[in-house]
């Protein structure tokens, strides 16, 4: 069972990586990247661990 779980997780990870790569190449992520850069320049960001701990 563990082998199947590991295989499935690796498959999903690979699919995710391919989707992100496709989206990045197509420009779908450009707006998000620009917003992140703008927020960083304006010092409008929080540490990820602080955000995750508030969920």
Listed residue (15, 13, 16) closest to 5, CA to CA: 13
φ/ψ (deg, to 5) at 7: -65, -45
Q: How far is it, in rounded angstroms, from Cα 51 to Cα 55?
A: 7
Range of 29's domain?
2-53
pTM, two decimals, is 0.63
Q: Total domain count for the chain?
A: 1
**Per-residue pLDDT tens over the stretch 12-52:** 999 999 999 999 999 999 999 999 999 999 999 988 888 88
């Amino acid at each position: 069972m563990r082998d199947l779980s590991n295989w499935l997780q690796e498959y999903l990870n690979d699919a995710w990586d391919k989707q992100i790569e496709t989206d990045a190449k197509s420009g779908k992520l450009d707006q998000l990247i620009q917003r992140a850069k703008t927020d960083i320049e304006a010092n409008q960001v929080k540490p990820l661990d602080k955000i995750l701990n508030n969920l």
